[in-house]
Amino acid sequence: MYRSGDLARWLPDGNIEYLGRMDYQVKIRGFRIEPGEIEQEFLKDKDIRKAVVIDREDDDGNKYLCAYVLAEKKINVEEIKNNLSRELPDYMIPLYIIQLDSFPLNTSGKLDRKALPLPKTDFAEDYIAPRNDMEKKIAEVWKKVLGIKKIGINDNFFSLGGHSLKAVTVVAKLQTDFEITVNDIFKYQTIAALSRNITERKDYLKIKLPYLKEKCEKKTLEDSSFKEAFDCYQKDISKYNQLDLREIKYYSNILLTGATGYIGSHLLLDLLKETESNLYLFVRGSTIEKAEQRLCEKLKYYFKEDIYEKYKDRIYLVKGDLASDRLGLADNLYNEMSGIIDCILHLAADVKHYGHYDDFYKDNVIATKNLLDFAKKDIIKDFHHISTISVAEGRVEGKNYVLFTEEDVDIGQKIETFYGQTKLEAEKLVLSARSEGLPSNIYRVGTAVYHSETGHFQENIEENAFYSLAKSYLNLGVMPDVEEIDFTFVDYVSKAICLLHNRKNLMNETLHIINNNKVNLSALLTSREGFLNIEKYSFSKFIDYLYKHYENPQLKTHIENIMLHKGWFSQEEINLVLLSDKSDIILKKLGFQWPCPDIIKMRPVIQRALLDRINLLQDIPLFSELSCEELLDFACLGKEEYYPDEEDILWEEDINRNLYFIIDGFVEVMKYSKSGWLGTIRVMGPGNFFGEGNIWEESPSGITAEVFMGDARVIAFKGEDFIKLMKDYPLFTVNFVKEVTDRVRKLENIMIEFG
């Protein structure tokens, strides 16, 4: 009657009530989620009788979770969300929680999920209308982004269905006329509060974007105090060249937090392979069984093998709460672990770009404090704290440039992100414990990118800053020539920490785990080996491009992504110069060397970034029989272009070697007669192509193509690129030539004699 994975509960009368499947999964913001697990958390509330969680989609195609509950009394939504947040990560908290009198049933008497009502988006209760122009402007943006018709000045942005991604969109729209950052939305969550704390500045974006051009110009670091500090640093670190790192410290039992995270899962595997230590893992889950399942899924996702089964005799799962007193453990377990753990590797953290400060403080500061207390109890435990180079972001007032080395912590830098702020506070706690005698190391890690060999990326890839930037550049088809980044490969981050953590003569140090061999991303993506259709723009030209297309609905997400991850939504200019020479000396002594990026190994990242374009091409009959790899080649060499109504894409007699495939909209193809009048040959819609006569040689176009009946979107291929693809894929070429031949035959049959 029941199957493995069914979720049920005992009723007071002894019967079993079936609640749903635990293995039904949905994907939200890159995370795989089991609604059954969330429903189970709802049922821990004694007033809630039943709960159903489903995924829905907003008008922009973004998925979100929506919960429906039956309860004994009127529920308090905010209170329920707070309770859920103690057990579940934020991406598993439903955006909407709706109380119903009963669930809709189908003819079989089972829950009819399709009949569940849409969330109410008209929050008119206790409505207070905007009182001035500023509040009205903010309200209009909120209404558009949240999809709500009526918003009062005291309505909470997040209670209305807002989240970090929508906050970014709000800021992108408001920055045209306001000085505002994403954190302002989290600090001031109502229109009334926000309007009191931001400044209206007409045409702010027009002013800011040109300023970015000036900011990007090469600046010399010729400040005398800067040079003096640099020379002093180089002198101080020379002693590390003589450091003996051969002696290893052997740990019996290591406590590892964040083991299901991107870096944490790789470090877990390296520790299992390179040491003989037992690993105690703090993991989330309503039960140990669920926690084990989650860990296994993560490890299989990253390594494609059953790591847990292979090493399970050395892995011990601990279900607790790092932010709770005594780590959320029963006294006997807390005391038992305190007596056997001799090393702590603390990776768990809230690493989101934006969110509520209290959440960051709890996960990044309180959790660290609790672990430090644990480290001091009974056996003194070596404490290895994984931090971030984000602590070196921000501006130090009164300085042009300031060096930030491994020895620096709080030098007065004004960090704008809550993530960076709370990680800095956590570092201070570790340093305080170090001064009291606790052996500790701090490892500041750069932005981890894909696996250097496999190209495999983190599961919630959309949360990664590098990927978001690369995705936006690839889809725009343009990028600035000044884009230099560090490829801090996740497998090498793990390898570095694994090499460093157990060196006897390397304790009470702060180190930077970042690839200092910066690479020009535009040079990499436009290299011949990459076969990508991307143009390199000067920074000034790139800023002009962003400004010109800022309101284009097809491009806005990518433009917002770039502005977010480049820090252009920030009010503060970064003037800290990060140095990691000490860390490089130490890692080099251990035989560690960062690899150079390989564009071919980056293909899985590129494929994911261009997934929408691949799907668009696959919907065109001509491409429908191509394999995923073949479609990727076409997607890489294509470029999406957007044209407004009545704009010419091709003009007869102009030189243009592009071939165009229509994705959306209509195009009227015309030709001049010998008498000089323009006649329509045909009107084309989605799936059709034009310009095939242009691809073979650089000659004038034989047709005029004009956007017709609204805007149009096309994928354009350069002639030489398309010819190369035809040579590589002969079967596609046969179908393409057949299509062109059929088209010519049809035109011959209906040919009008121009004259």
Q: Region 422-442: what's the mean pLDDT?
A: 98
**What are the phi and psi torsion angles at 586 (to 5°)?**
-65, -45
Other Cβ atoms within 10 Å of 233 Cβ, number: 18
Looking at the DSSP bridge assignments, the partners of residue 670 are: 680, 704
Q: Give the C-alpha separation, 626 to 632, whole Å.
A: 10
User: For 334, phi and psi rounded to 5 degrees?
Assistant: -60, -45
Closest CA to 54 of 113, 128, 126: 113
**Statement: residue 202 has pLDDT above 50:** yes
Digit-coded pLDDT (tens) for 686-733: 999 999 888 877 777 888 999 989 999 999 999 999 999 999 999 999
Residue 34 and residue 82 in one domain: yes
Mean pLDDT throughout 415-439?
96
pTM of the model: 0.82
Same domain, 160 and 95: no
Domain assignment present for 644: yes
On whether both 151 and 79 belong to a single domain, the answer is no
Long-range pairs, 19-25, Cβ under 8 A, ≥24: 19/43, 19/50, 20/52
Q: Tell me: the pLDDT tens digits for 36-77?
A: 889 988 998 888 999 999 998 877 677 889 999 999 889 888
Residue after which a domain boundary falls, among 156, 185, 202: 202
Sorting pLDDT into bands at 50, 70 and 90, what band is 755? very low
Burial 134-150 (b: 16+ CB within 10 A, else e): bbebbbebbeebbebee
Are the beta carbons of 672 and 678 closer than 8 angstroms?
yes
Read off the pLDDT band of 28 (50, 70, 90): confident
Q: What is the pLDDT of residues 474-486, one digit of tens each?
A: 999 999 987 788 9
Q: Which of 100, 123, 145 is the last residue of a domain?
A: 100
Q: Which of 183, 640, 654, 162 is nearest to 420 (CA)?
A: 183
490-500 vs 581-589: helix axis angle to the nearest 10? 70
Same domain, 85 and 184: no
| pLDDT (0 to 100) of residue 42 | 92
Q: Is residue 49 part of a domain?
A: yes
Q: Which two tokens stand for residue 624?
A: 């429908």
CA distance 688 to 695: 16
Strand partners, 343: 254, 382
What pLDDT, on a 0 to 100 scale, did the predictor assign at position 1? 47
Q: Answer yes or no: do 720 and 646 share one domain.
A: yes
Separation between Cα atoms, residue 405 and residue 578, nearest integer Å = 6
> Residue 754 pLDDT > 70, yes or no?
no
Alpha-carbon span 94 to 114, nearest angstrom: 17
Same structural domain, 85 and 196: no
- Using one digit for the tens of pLDDT, what is the confidence trace for 224-261? 677 888 889 999 999 999 999 999 999 999 999 999 99
Q: Is residue 382 part of a domain?
A: no
Q: Are residues 635 and 743 in the same domain?
A: yes
pLDDT given for residue 79 in this prediction: 84
Confidence category of residue 649, pLDDT binned at 50, 70, 90? very high
- Both 41 and 139 in one domain: the answer is no
Confidence at residue 753, expressed as pLDDT on a 0 to 100 scale: 45
Residues 6 or more apart whose Cβ sits within 8 Å of residue 138:
130, 174, 191, 194, 195
Angle formed by the axes of helices 611-618 and 628-637, nearest 10°: 110
The mean pLDDT of the chain is 87
- Whichever domain contains 665, its CATH number is 2.60.120.10
Task: Give helix 581-589 / helix 224-237 axis angle, nearest 10°.
Answer: 20
pLDDT for residue 751? 52
Q: Do residues 743 and 676 share a domain?
A: yes
Is there a domain that residue 359 lies in?
no
**H-type alpha helices, 490-625:** 490-500, 521-525, 539-548, 556-565, 581-589, 603-609, 611-618
Note the pLDDT tens digit of each residue in 503-521: 999 999 999 999 988 898 8
* Together in a domain, 624 and 750: yes
Among 118-122, 324-328, 356-360, 408-412, the least confident range: 118-122
CB distance 472 to 610 below 8 Å:
no
Proportion of the chain above pLDDT 70, given as a percent:
91
Q: Which residue has the higher pLDDT, 386 or 399?
A: 386
Length of the chain: 755
Q: What's the burial of 379, exposed, middle or buried (CB within 10 Å: 0-12/13-18/19+)? A: middle
Query: What digits encode the pLDDT tens for the residues 153-168?
Result: 998 898 888 888 788 8
Q: Rg of the chain over CA atoms, in angstroms?
A: 29
What is the DSSP annotation of 83-140?
HHHTTS-GGGS-SEEEE-SS--B-TTSSB-GGGSPPPP----TT-----SHHHHHHHH
Domain contains 441: no
How many domains would you assign to the chain? Answer: 3
Mode of pairing for the β-strands spanning 253-257 and 343-346: parallel
What number of CA atoms fall less than 13 Å from residue 600's CA on the CB side? 3
Tokens of 454: 């496999």
CA atoms of 522 and 744, how far apart (whole Å):
41
Between 575 and 288, the higher pLDDT residue: 288
In a domain, 393, yes or no: no
Q: Is the pLDDT of residue 203 over 80?
A: no
Residue 535 sits at the vertex; the CA angle it makes with 529 and 540, to the nearest 5 degrees, is: 135
Helix 719-728 to helix 730-749 angle (10° resolution) is 120
Q: What is the pLDDT of residue 92?
A: 87
* Tens-digit pLDDT profile for residues 609-629: 999 999 999 999 999 999 999
Of 77, 100, 123, at which residue does a domain stop?
100
Residues 83 and 162 in one domain: no
What is the average pLDDT across 657-680?
Answer: 85
Torsion, CA 70, CA 72, CA 76, CA 82, rounded to 10? -70
Q: Is residue 239 part of a domain?
A: no
Which residues are CB-neighbours of 336 under 8 A, at least 6 positions away?
Answer: none
Residues 197 and 145 in one domain: yes
What pLDDT, on a 0 to 100 scale, did the predictor assign at position 451?
A: 95
pLDDT at 141 over 80: yes
The more confident residue out of 25 and 259 is: 259
- Residue 274 pLDDT > 60: yes
Q: For residue 66, tell me if it sits in a domain.
A: yes
Q: How far apart are CA 114 and CA 690, in angstroms?
A: 42
- Domain membership of residue 175 as a residue range: 133-202
Say what the pLDDT of residue 188 is: 93
d(CA 138, CA 199): 12
How many Å apart are CA 683 and CA 292, to the nearest integer? 58
Cβ(708)–Cβ(666) below 8 Å: yes
| CATH code, 154 | 1.10.1200.10
The 10 Å CB-count burial string (b at 16+, else e) for 422-439 is bbbbbbebbbebbeeebb
Label the pairing between strands 440-445 and 16-21.
unpaired
pLDDT digits (tens, 9 = 90+) for 328-361: 999 999 999 999 999 999 999 998 878 889 889 9
